[in-house]
Amino acid sequence: MQIGEVTGTDPAALAVFIGNQRTGHRIPHRLACRALGVSESWFYKWRDKRHRA
Protein backbone atom coordinates (compact mmCIF):
# COMPACT_ATOMS: atom_id res chain seq x y z
CA MET A 1 0.00 0.00 0.00
CA GLN A 2 1.24 3.48 -0.74
CA ILE A 3 -0.13 6.72 0.65
CA GLY A 4 1.73 9.66 -0.80
CA GLU A 5 5.34 9.05 0.14
CA VAL A 6 4.48 6.87 3.15
CA THR A 7 4.63 3.21 2.19
CA GLY A 8 3.37 0.23 4.19
CA THR A 9 1.77 2.33 6.91
CA ASP A 10 -1.63 1.51 8.42
CA PRO A 11 -3.86 4.41 7.29
CA ALA A 12 -5.75 4.58 10.58
CA ALA A 13 -2.50 4.69 12.57
CA LEU A 14 -1.16 7.41 10.28
CA ALA A 15 -4.29 9.53 10.78
CA VAL A 16 -4.02 9.12 14.57
CA PHE A 17 -0.33 10.06 14.42
CA ILE A 18 -1.09 13.25 12.48
CA GLY A 19 -3.83 14.18 14.95
CA ASN A 20 -1.54 13.55 17.89
CA GLN A 21 1.11 15.86 16.47
CA ARG A 22 -1.27 18.77 16.79
CA THR A 23 -2.44 17.78 20.26
CA GLY A 24 0.95 16.95 21.71
CA HIS A 25 3.29 19.26 19.82
CA ARG A 26 1.06 21.99 18.31
CA ILE A 27 2.09 20.98 14.80
CA PRO A 28 -0.69 21.98 12.38
CA HIS A 29 -2.40 19.17 10.47
CA ARG A 30 -1.36 20.81 7.21
CA LEU A 31 2.34 20.70 8.11
CA ALA A 32 2.22 17.11 9.41
CA CYS A 33 0.40 15.95 6.28
CA ARG A 34 2.88 17.70 4.02
CA ALA A 35 5.85 16.22 5.89
CA LEU A 36 4.38 12.71 5.59
CA GLY A 37 3.37 13.11 1.95
CA VAL A 38 -0.39 12.76 2.42
CA SER A 39 -3.10 15.20 1.47
CA GLU A 40 -4.87 17.20 4.10
CA SER A 41 -8.22 16.10 2.65
CA TRP A 42 -7.19 12.44 3.08
CA PHE A 43 -6.42 13.10 6.75
CA TYR A 44 -9.77 14.82 7.39
CA LYS A 45 -11.67 11.98 5.69
CA TRP A 46 -9.98 9.42 7.95
CA ARG A 47 -10.43 11.59 11.04
CA ASP A 48 -14.12 12.15 10.35
CA LYS A 49 -14.61 8.46 9.57
CA ARG A 50 -13.11 7.55 12.96
CA HIS A 51 -15.38 10.02 14.80
CA ARG A 52 -18.50 8.57 13.13
CA ALA A 53 -17.65 4.97 14.08
Q: What is the pLDDT of residues 1-50, one digit of tens each?
A: 344 556 567 888 899 899 999 999 999 999 999 998 899 999 999 988 86
Instruction: Identify the residue with better confidence: 25 or 52.
Output: 25
**pLDDT at residue 2, as a whole number:** 43
**pLDDT at residue 8, as a whole number:** 66
With b for 16 or more beta-carbon neighbours within 10 A and e for fewer, the 21-34 pattern comes to beeeeeeebeebbe
